[in-house]
A and B are shown apart, each in its own frame.
Chain A
């Protein structure tokens, strides 16, 4: 009887300890997440000396054109190596990125080392039903996680649409868990004049994007943390 009681008691204790552990962990993670959100938008404390592993998320058509316009003025030696990700259904964007890299590389051998091109499954195609998109979303998230573990970017450049959201959320989680610190830059499309896109709104409101750029002054007035940078095109 006594023994039984002790056993029950010790079980209670371990259960209690386990619960306590979970709660402590949750608190630590929450504090850490709050710290990351607090750090959002604050410049890196050190002077940069080397280059950053850079992830470039390509949208499609107009989005890709704007992104390449930005890349053409960034110093390549500072953003090396560069990983390009585009939706699996979008063949044009990676092709455009490849010819862009070809045009900036001095030697083909250098390009091989400094840039890579990858495709990602999209969580929802235009017109897909919401029921089937539950499954495709799960697949897309797992795939995004796998790509992010492989790349572990220090800089993420994105400009919508939705493809960049899972990648940015994973980057945020990497920061919380201390896996990899990254700086996220989002440029809202030139096509958005009065309202942010859904991707833009999410990254702005959740403070996931460290620096947020808009191309029309009307938007900057509405979203004061954004930088107005004029048209990229």
Chain B
């Protein structure tokens, strides 16, 4: 049993609070599933939000990729923690949650969004080699090119510089 748990390599897909059917469709497409399996992943777990596209579940006994999905969960962090690879929408919450947990991440940008500034963040972090960035239609390509070893671990920042400037502005002494 324990051996089986160890052998579990989960890909966790998250679309956040809205829906992103194009991403769900992309991850369950045959070529993406094949590529994931080729890279030794065993499970594909999808958080699909308010989407209306339901992928077909598969608890394949024949050794092919196990596919499962759910809509929402209050403990997304636990799913990220258990995953070996995260494929996420471009929301900053999901991105930083994954990076802080040190998990390899592919961000898929939703091109249907009106005010699409979200790709800015994903692309800037890709430039610093913290993650890979893709579109739904280029996900397969991104997966084949992906080299997890070349990713640079993200060092979380904090609000200390802001707090110092605010304190000085208001006339508080530095401590």
State the A residues within 8 Å of B (CB): 43-48, 52, 61-62, 65-66, 69-75, 78, 155, 183, 185, 187, 189-195, 197, 210-211, 213, 215-216, 227, 229-233
Contact = CB atoms under 8 A, between A and B. Distances in A.
B60 interface: no
B170 A213 contact: no
B171 A73 contact: no
Interface string B87-123: 0000111001000100000000000000001101101
A193 B168 CA distance: 26
Contacts, number: 108
B157 interface: yes
B124 interface: yes
B158 A211 contact: no
19 contacts: A44-B169, A45-B171, A61-B17, A62-B91, A66-B92, A69-B159, A70-B162, A71-B159, A73-B163, A75-B175, A78-B170, A155-B170, A185-B162, A192-B120, A211-B166, A227-B165, A229-B159, A229-B161, A232-B159
Question: Range of interface residues on chain B?
Answer: 20 to 34
B169 A211 contact: yes
B166 A233 contact: no
A73 B164 CA distance: 9
A48 B172 contact: yes
Interface of B: 16-17, 91-93, 96, 100, 117-118, 120-121, 123-124, 156-163, 165-173, 175
